[in-house]
Structure 1
Amino acid sequence: MHLIRLHSSDEQFHCHSGLSLLDGMKSLARKGIPVGCRGGGCGICRVQVLQGNYQCKRMSREQVSELEQQTGIALACRIYPKSDLDVTFLGLKNSKKNGNTQ
């Protein structure tokens, strides 16, 4: 079991390696990361891992680019912790329609 620290909400919880970060948080009735599609497509649970090791499963490149993923950005529903993690919540990418391509 790994300790997950959410810097954006000052919450922490424990998560098994076999559970996604989002499922681990939900199972403990935590609310630090919003829940969306749970399949790596909607981007609502977008986070950045600041420290720690994890496995990241496939997710929408529209929500997280390869470059962003290299900087620790991923969707919480697709992150499986391999060690304790320090994470900050980012939320949805700004819409390209608004001229912002974050």
Structure 2
Amino acid sequence: MGETMYTIRYVSKEKTESYRCYDGEDVLTAARRNFVPIPVGCRGGGCGMCKLRVVDGDYEMDICSKAALTEGERKQNYTLACKTYPRTDLIIVPGLLLTEGGI
């Protein structure tokens, strides 16, 4: 992992939390390291448990299942935390929160 770090702001119904993510580290691994409660399942991009939406910032997404993340969702900046690598600071919200009409 590189020395560059990005700030990730995770906005949920309960609270907003900020944490740091190393360059080359996925958003889920950084969240777990910082005790931020992003749901986790397979960690391989197949289950969709860690689905979230990037509200602001640039990122790269690794390969993941189209069953877990449809093309339509990808176009709306949904991604899987386990397959998301920040390129700038990010603001993210849980995918489930959006479907429940939360934010």
| Number of equivalent positions | 91
Q: Which runs of 5+ in 2 are unaligned?
A: none
Q: 2: CA distance between counterparts of 1:5 and 1:69? A: 20
Q: Does 1:44 align with 2:58?
A: no
**2:65 aligns with one of 60, 63, 66:** 60
**1:5 aligns with one of 6, 9, 13:** 9
Q: 2: CA distance between counterparts of 1:11 and 1:29? A: 10
Q: Which runs of 5+ in 1 are unaligned?
A: 95-102
TM-score, length-normalised on structure 2? 0.83
TM-score, length-normalised on structure 1? 0.84
Amino acid at match of 1:30: V
Question: 4+ residue runs of structure 1 moved beyond 6 angstroms?
Answer: none
